[in-house]
Amino acid sequence: MVRSSVLGYPRIGADREWKKALEAFWAGKLEESEFQLQLQEIRLNHLRKQQEKGIDLIPVNDFSYYDHILDTAAMFGIIPKRFAFEGGVVPLSVYYGVARGTKEAAASEMTKWFNTNYHYIVPELSGASPVITENKPLAAYREAKEKLGIEGKPVIVGPLTFLKLSKGYSASETDAWLHRLLPLYVQILQELAEEGVQWVQIDEPILVTKLSEEDVQRLKTVYETFAASVPNLNIMLQTYFEAVDRYTDIVSLPVKGIGLDFVHGLSGNIQSIKTCGFPADKVLGAGVIDGRGIWKASLRGKLELLEQLAQFVPAERLLVQTSSSLLHVPVTTERETKLTSELKNVLAYADEKLDELVVITKAATSGSSGIAEELEQCDRALQALQQSEERNRSSIQQAVAAISAEQAERSRPFAERHAAQQAKWQLPLFPTTTIGSFPQSAEVRKARQLWRKGEWSNEQYAAFIREQIDTWIKIQEEIGLDVLVHGEFERTDMVEFFGEKLAGFAFTQNGWVQSYGSRCVKPPVIFGDVAFTGEMTVEETRYAQSRTSRPVKGMLTGPITIMNWSFVRDDIPREQIAYQLAYALRQEVEALEKAGIGMIQVDEPAVREGLPLKEEEQEAYLAWAVKAFRIATCTVQETTQIHTHMCYCEFHDMIDSIEAMDADVISIETSRSHGELIHSFELNTYKLGIGLGVYDIHSPRVPSVEEMTGMIERALRVLDPKLFWINPDCGLKTRGLEETVASLRNMVDATKIAREKYAALV
């Protein structure tokens, strides 16, 4: 009999009640005891839902108070010394301090979870002495069993993945650290085995990346140790997001089950099984339901896939699973009352994916005749969207085919453009600017709400936005910034704003997913061919420019970021979606230039996160990502200065691609990673204009002039001062007015100090 299994469930709740509880606790509006009770109820509701739907193996310990990697670090007492942790169970004040920072200590680094839009907190191993502070998987297992009668499947981040995602140790210390952690994992597993746990899911997504011979030996050491220490515990070694590297080595490990992704790693994993078979002594966790996308599965296609797998794995050794945790998708489509039936009928959020799992598990056990009606409904829904007008805009398809065949190059090389732009703008040494957005106050949010509800007319709202622009143009001039922005007060989100103005997009009411901590985002849905329908940003930018003699940047979100921060259609290659977006944005860039805007920023913060996990696929991705940016920006005059912005990423392995984008100026986040990115430029020359963010906007603290001067000094050791810009590391939308102004004043003061020192270069 085939069974069903889930790798993890969304934390946030159908009404984002998890987010609301966190933020109320942080604001001091909720006592810790009440906070704990609220989170327990949310957690139990999630388990109860999976139980009621009929999932066989229900995950426990997948719930988190912030982030599952931070949970693992806290479980092992790996807390940076600056937080003055004194041992024992990590208090919430320390736990959230590591995640968010305190007045006394900077937060730990935050970065992307593999190639997803989720961020995790990077563990800092330097100076740590790991011990078990509490057995969190055991507590989660007991709670599910005692409260709901669920025989849960504890989920644990595996030791190799945890170690590879941590920082604060050298490569030569890897084995030493592994041997420090291994006894702690063994103790956790032994206590689970003694409790009577049947299955434990150990997540090792690092196995889908390139593994060295040393890594393979480390894996063998780890799992042979587990097998010897807990011989009767069923361990599911779980991978996801891609096909595994070193398939034969992995499936030979002494574990009871191997979980593979047959959605995003379909071709590689199915080929490995066909070529090498699958061990007769193991259970296959077949991840056939997409844990990351929102589209309804083709039930017939999934059953055909399971039939292929049945040639190698009998039913009693098959688990039908999600391809990854459902953390990456919204909770339920039930509340989506405003979507067309054509679109809603092809969406599957977490709860609908549970239903899909149950249906195909039933069919895999008893045959497809028992789900004939479900199969017919699924076929009709998928076919209706595929045949829709939105997916068959022939004029767009033809235009995009034509521009994607072109070279997409600026009319002049950078050196000539730079000279022409400098002659036009007469900018000082180390020009100062911001990334684009300014604080969105309660007043701004209320105004937008009144307008969206129809209580304000378009004219009232436009007048309010102009007032905000007037205020912040004056503030920027008073502070002394050289290149200004209009502030983006009309925008809710840097992707949603553009999606609402382009054809081919849809917007959900409750399609929320966790980005980091309590930060939830509601990605647009790209479901059809993307088309430009009219000017999107010209009115506000042109107005801002009319209020000052200093240059005002036009602000756009780039094609790759719009794509990577949306839920995208899966019926055509992502490359084609990127080119459609680029073609639409090109028309907006040209409209801005025609309106007299001579600096245009096309932000691409999400280029790096879309990088394929497989090295052999990365070059092709970067090539078409760069091309999409150039398609959007290449038609402007040589005196029009193209800016871009990137953040949250390691760029050392893609400096060449960044340069190939041929932006006149790029600004890059460096402050949250404590200037580590600057080391990339110590190893690689960069010949275009660049601004490295000199302070962290994610923290409410106001950085000193001395801090920023130090960051500038280090950057100027490796970058050409004549091409260097000074700016914060990201937009200022989430910050308050006073801290924003104070921080920018300090930034300008630090710039003045640098200008005095390097005055001879002017």
Q: What is the pLDDT of residues 688-741, one digit of tens each?
A: 999 888 877 777 778 899 989 988 988 888 889 999 999 998 888 888 899 999
- Is 43 marked as binding a ligand? no
- Residue-wise pLDDT for 254-269, tens only, equals 999 999 999 999 999 9
Task: Count the Cβ atoms, other than its own, within 10 Å of residue 109.
Answer: 17
State yes or no: 488 annotated in a binding site.
yes
The tally of CA atoms less than 13 A away on the side-chain side of residue 82 is 14
8-state DSSP, 412: S
The Cβ of residue 86 has, within 10 Å, a number of other Cβ atoms equal to 8
Instruction: Write the single-letter amino acid at 350.
Output: A
Region of residue 566 (left: phi > 0; alpha: psi -120 to 50; beta: else): beta
Q: Does 649 count as an annotated binding residue?
A: no
Distance separating alpha carbons of residues 45 and 60, to the nearest angstrom: 12
CA 109 to CA 121: how far, in whole Å? 6
Half-sphere exposure in the Cβ direction for 611 (13 Å, CA): 23
Confidence of residue 655 (pLDDT cuts 50, 70, 90): confident
Whose CA is closest to 220, among 233, 209, 204? Answer: 204
Determine contact, residues 660/626, Cβ cutoff 8 Å.
yes
Q: Name 124's bridge partners.
A: 167
Confidence of residue 9 (pLDDT cuts 50, 70, 90): very high
19 known member of a binding site: yes
pLDDT > 60? residue 210: yes
Tokens of 518: 């309590």
- Over 80: is that where the pLDDT of 585 sits? yes
The answer to whether residue 652 scores a pLDDT higher than 70 is: no
- Per-residue pLDDT tens over the stretch 117-128: 899 999 999 999
Phi first, then psi, for residue 395 (nearest 5°) are -65, -40
3-state percent breakdown (helix, strand, coil) of the chain, nearest 5: 50, 15, 40
Nearest CA to 448 out of 458, 438, 439 is that of 458
CA–CA gap between residue 343 and residue 330 (Å, rounded): 16
CA 447 to each of CA 72, 520, 640: distance values in angstroms, whole numbers, following the listed order: 42, 22, 34
| Nearest one of 655, 657, 725, 714 to 690, comparing CA atoms | 725
Cβ-proximal residues to 11 (8 Å cutoff; 6+ apart), any chain: 18, 42, 46, 63, 64, 327, 514
Question: 123 and 77 in contact (C-beta within 8 Å)?
Answer: no
* Cβ atoms 686, 664 nearer than 8 A: no
DSSP 710-754: HHHHHHHTTS-GGGEEB--SS--TTS-HHHHHHHHHHHHHHHHHH
- From CA 440, how far away is CA 463, in angstroms rounded? 16
Whether 634 has a binding-site annotation, put simply, is: no
- The annotation status of 669 as a binding-site residue, yes or no, is yes
Residue 520's contacts (CB-CB under 8 Å, 6 or more residues apart) are 12, 16, 19, 512, 513, 514
> Taking the domain 429-490+535-561+574-761, which CATH number applies?
3.20.20.210
Q: Give the Å distances, CA to CA, from 83 to 8, 69, 100, 673.
A: 30, 18, 12, 18
| Among 348, 372, 335, 353, residue whose Cα is nearest residue 296 | 348
* Phi (first) and psi of residue 441, to 5 degrees: -70, 170
Distance, in Å, from the CA atom of 401 to the CA atom of 579, rounded to the nearest integer, reads: 9
CA distance 346 to 342: 7
Instruction: Report yes or no: 157 and 166 within 8 Å, Cβ to Cβ.
Output: no
User: What's the CA gap between 449 and 26, in Å, rounded?
Assistant: 25
Nearest in space to 258 (alpha carbons), one of 226, 286, 236:
236
Instruction: Phi first, then psi: give them for residue 528, nearest 5 degrees.
Output: -135, -175
What is residue 360's three-state secondary structure?
A: helix
Residue 44: pLDDT over 70: yes
Count, residues in the chain: 762
Compute the mean pLDDT over every residue in the chain, rounded to the nearest whole number.
Answer: 94
**CB-CB contact of 557 with 535 (8 Å):** no
- Give the model confidence (pLDDT) of 495-554 as tens digits: 999 999 999 999 999 999 999 999 999 999 999 999 999 999 999 999 999 999 999 999
Token pair for 488: 């983006």
Quote the tokens at residue 556.
């756009």
pLDDT at 120: 97
**Residue position matching structure tokens 């521009």:** 403
- Per-residue model confidence (pLDDT) at position 675: 54
- For residue 156, what is the enclosing H or E element? strand 153-157
Confidence of residue 668 (pLDDT cuts 50, 70, 90): confident
Q: Over the stretch 467-492, which tens digit does the pLDDT of each residue have? A: 999 999 999 999 999 999 999 999 98
- Distance between CA atoms of 64 and 70, rounded to whole angstroms? 9
* Token pair of 527 as six digits: 């479901």
Phi-psi region of 347 (alpha: psi -120 to 50; beta: other; left: phi over 0): beta
What sign does the CA torsion over 646, 648, 649, 650 have? positive
- pLDDT above 70 (res 270): yes
Mean pLDDT of 225-240: 98
- Taking the chain, what is the end-to-end CA distance rounded to the nearest angstrom? 77
Structure tokens at 539: 């009115």
**Alpha-carbon dihedral of residues 505, 506, 512, 517, nearest 10 degrees?**
20
Contact (CB, 8 A) for 198 and 154: no
- Is 177 annotated as a binding-site member? no
**pLDDT reported for residue 197:** 98
CA-closest candidate to residue 579, choices 535, 529, 615: 529
Helix axes 737-757, 458-479, angle to 10 degrees: 40
Which pairs count as long-range contacts for 717-720, CB under 8 Å and 24+ apart, including other chains?
Answer: 717/682, 718/678, 718/681, 718/682, 719/681, 719/686, 719/690, 719/692, 720/687
Segment 598-618 shows an average pLDDT of 92
520 marked ligand binding residue: yes
Say yes or no to pLDDT of 601 above 80: yes
Q: Rounded to whole angstroms, how far apart are CA atoms 443 and 621?
A: 42
- The secondary element (H helix, E strand) that includes residue 186 is helix 174-195
- Residue 671, annotated ligand binder? no
Check residue 594 and give its pLDDT: 98
pLDDT at 409: 94
Which residue numbers are catalytic?
Answer: 698
Q: What is the pLDDT of residues 163-208, one digit of tens each?
A: 999 999 999 999 999 999 999 999 999 999 999 999 999 999 999 9
